[in-house]
Amino acid sequence: MVSVDRSPRLDLVFHALAHPARRAIVRQLSLGERNLSELASPLKMTFPAATKHVRVLEGAKLVRRRIVGREHLCRLLPEPLKEAMMWTGSFREHWEARFAVLDSVLDEMAVEAQSRSKRKTP
C-alpha cells in the first residue's frame, strides 16, 4: 500500500498552481510587486477574474495583497514555493538513479548495434 502525504498547505499550493492563469500571475510576481490591473492585462481577463485567481493564490499563502487607496498591490511569498520544490525534489535522487541505469543500458545497446554493423560490413 502506498503512503499518502498529508499536507493541507502543500495541497493548497499545488491546487493554486494547477491553473495556467495563476502560474502566469506567479511568474509576473516573481519579477516584483504588481497591481491587479497589471496582472490581468497580459492574461486578457477582467479585474474580477484576476481577483478570483489572486484570492486562490492568497489562500495558498503564495501571494500577499495590500490595498493602497483604490489600488490592489500583490507580491509573491516564496516560502510555499520552496516547500513545494523541496517535496518534488525528494524524488530527484530516485529518478536520477533510474536515468543513470537507462543511460548505461542505452550505451550498451549502442555499442552492440555498432558491433553488429561492423560485422555485416565486408
Structure confidence at residue 62 (pLDDT): 98
Structure confidence at residue 91 (pLDDT): 83
What pTM was computed for the model?
0.72
**Domain spans of the chain, in order of start:** 8-81, 92-120
DSSP string, 1-47: -PPPP--HHHHHHHHHHTSHHHHHHHHHHTTS-EEHHHHHGGGT--H
Give CA–CA dist 109/117, Å, rounded. 12
More confident residue, 120 or 30: 30
Q: What is the CATH number of domain 8-81?
A: 1.10.10.10
DSSP string, 39-53: HHGGGT--HHHHHHH
Rg, C-alpha atoms of the chain:
23
pLDDT digits (tens, 9 = 90+) for 50-73: 999 999 999 999 999 999 999 999
